[in-house]
Amino acid sequence: MTTAQHAVDYDERVISAAREVFAQQGFAAPVSEIAELAGVGVASIYRRYPNKRRLAERVRIAAMSRVIAEAESAGEVEPDPWAAFVRFVRGCLRAHTGIGVVLPPYEESEDVSEELTRLRQRMIEHIEELVVTAQRAGQLRGDLRSADVFLLFKHLNPPLATEEDRRAELRQRYLELLLPGLRERADRLPGEAPDWDELFQMCVPGGQ
Amino acid sequence: MTTAQHAVDYDERVISAAREVFAQQGFAAPVSEIAELAGVGVASIYRRYPNKRRLAERVRIAAMSRVIAEAESAGEVEPDPWAAFVRFVRGCLRAHTGIGVVLPPYEESEDVSEELTRLRQRMIEHIEELVVTAQRAGQLRGDLRSADVFLLFKHLNPPLATEEDRRAELRQRYLELLLPGLRERADRLPGEAPDWDELFQMCVPGGQ
DNA sequence: CCCACGCGGAATGACTCGTTCCGGTGAGGA
DNA sequence: TCCTCACCGGAACGAGTCATTCCGCGTGGG
């Protein structure tokens, strides 16, 4: 069964590379890049998946499962609702979760598989629960909706935003979430300060 | 001078359309789309600008000037430092300011014009001042840096993010800015609630 | 009524990317 | 040791996209 084992490894490397590439660059990323990251030839990818779209679907299903797992474990590990919520958000943003792959539609006319639809529903329900629980405890601002969580994820995964995100209304909403967090407050945690020079260089065009 | 006036109108329409298109889709957007939005033929654009890059440079210079103007007027109009800061951020995000065009580098090896460099410096100084002033007044969280403002703008302009933004460190930082704003607090303003159904449909893939 | 001038949009050539094809290679059997 | 053959990497192919250029037309001034 050496051969079969080998095939499994191959699969795993490909899926993992696809998650990373798709999450960072969106589904428009070239297959060749996935192949390179996985250290295989493109043909090996096409030998296992009929086309790019199917590969993407597999990756999405895997990523959604991870998000669900993240939500479940967050609720179990952290008794405090706010802590659970924060743990979930942070967990989803860890690279290996691949939230960036969960968010964007592959294409306008994607015929969504049944499995994907079911997972999506479960995922939403889990997030809903985390939000509502934290709100009932008076720890999460009451006007937050689970849709906001997706919005937040989307903005934290810049390259994945689609046409609609640009709508002024959504930007407005996002800003409303952000600004209150910027005001000085006694209970703010110190937190680690990033390297300011580096941050500047990365954020400002034509950086010195 | 009817002809000259006509040419000016033309120019203005093109620049304005370019700002909109570039801000929304990034500099990779096709020139033809700018032409269509401006209601002119592509040739008319190339008759006035030698190539796409030069057009982009013009647009950036115009946008940076507007950002600077926004910062100046915010400081003058609002005596309260926090209000001035918020007004500036909101002002930059208004479509006609074109902050989305200011942020991204056009390309790796862009030879930045002198004018652009000078404007960039002025812009940074203005933002610095707004931030520091609000901090001295104890209204803006003290760990905010002007670089954060760019980071914020970048994330509020999803399609413009570049390779580097995805670095885990930056995401981490951004999250730190966001999360405190989500906690329940007495002084939170009510604000207008968006249409949740619509928000969901836009944020969740395969939306019902 | 004629004629440049300026315009819109089609044509061109370079390039990217999904998918397929092909020659090489190494493990395993004779 | 040599032969197979299943599997692999990367080159090849065809379609599509986009920056830039070219061309014939409409029109306003003479």
| Averaged pLDDT for residues A10-36 | 93
pLDDT of residue B76: 96
Q: How many folded domains does chain B comprise?
A: 1
User: For residue A207, what pLDDT is reported?
Assistant: 43
Distance CA B65, CA B83 (A): 21
Residue pair B152/A178 in contact by the 8 Å Cβ criterion: yes
Question: What pLDDT, on a 0 to 100 scale, did the predictor assign at position B94?
Answer: 82
Average pLDDT in the B39-45 region? Answer: 95
Residue at B10 is within a domain: no
Say whether the CB atom of A25 is under 7 angstroms from strand D: no
- Cα(B169)–Cα(A73) distance, rounded to whole angstroms? 24
When pLDDT is averaged across residues B76-85 and rounded to a whole number, the result is 93
- pLDDT for the residue A143: 74
Report residue A53's pLDDT band, with 50, 70 and 90 as the boundaries. very high
Structural domain includes residue A146: yes
Range among A145-159, B151-165, B180-194 with highest mean pLDDT value: A145-159
- Does B138 contact A184 at a Cβ distance shorter than 8 Å? yes
Which residue is listed with tokens 């440079």?
Answer: B57
State yes or no: pLDDT of A206 exceeds 60. no
> Is the per-residue pLDDT at B186 higher than 70?
no
**Ordered DSSP codes for B116-139:** HHHHHHHHHHHHHHHHHHHHHTT-
Query: How is residue A183 annotated by DSSP?
Result: B
Within a domain: A2: no
B44 CB less than 7 Å from any atom of strand C: yes
Examine residue B98 and state whether it is found in any structural domain, yes or no.
Answer: yes
CB contact under 8 A, B142 and A203: no
pLDDT of residue B63: 94
Which pLDDT belongs to residue A42? 97
More confident residue, A12 or B147: A12
Structural domain includes residue A133: yes
User: Which nucleotides in chain D have some atom under 7 angstroms from a protein Cβ?
Assistant: 7-12, 17-23, 29
Digit-coded pLDDT (tens) for A98-138: 888 887 777 655 667 888 888 988 998 999 999 999 989 98
Q: What is the DSSP code (8-state) at residue B162?
A: -
Return all residues near A9 (Cβ < 8 A) that are at least 6 apart.
none
∠ CA(B29), CA(B32), CA(B35), 5° rounding? Answer: 110
Q: Which residue has the higher pLDDT, A104 or A47?
A: A47
Q: Mean pLDDT over residues A37-41, rounded? A: 96
Q: What residues of chain B lie within 8 A of the CB of A196, using their CB?
A: 145, 147
- Burial grade of A42 (CB within 10 A; 0-12, 13-18, 19 or more): middle
d(CA B49, CA A131): 52
pLDDT value, residue B54: 93
Rounded, the Å distance between the CA of A73 and C1' of C16 is 43
Q: What is the mean pLDDT of residues A195-202?
A: 62
Q: Which of A152, A182, A194 sits opposite B140 (nearest CB)?
A: A182
Is residue A100 assigned to a domain? yes
Whole-number distance in Å between A62 CA and D14 C1': 33
Query: Which residues in chain B have Cβ-Cβ distances shorter than 8 Å to A57?
Result: none
Q: Which of B13, B36, B19 is nearest to B100 (CA)?
A: B19
Residue A126 domain-assigned (yes or no): yes
Q: Please state, rounded to an integer, the average pLDDT across all residues of chain B.
A: 80
Tell me: the pLDDT tens digits for B106-127?
765 566 788 888 898 899 899 9
A82 within some domain: yes
- Specify the pLDDT at position B208: 33
Q: For position A177, what pLDDT does the model report?
A: 66
Q: Is the pLDDT of residue B130 over 90?
A: yes
DSSP B74-111: HHHH-SSHHHHHHHHHHHHHSGGG-HHHHSS-S-TT--
**Residue A58 CA to C24 C1' — how many Å?**
31
Query: H or E segment at B32?
Result: helix B31-38
Mean pLDDT over B74-92 rounds to: 92
Is the pLDDT reported for residue A44 higher than 80?
yes
Give me the pLDDT at residue B174, please: 65
Structural domain that includes position A99: 55-201
Q: Which CATH number does the domain housing residue B109 bear? A: 1.10.357.10
pLDDT at B116: 87
- Both tokens of A15, joined, read 């899926």
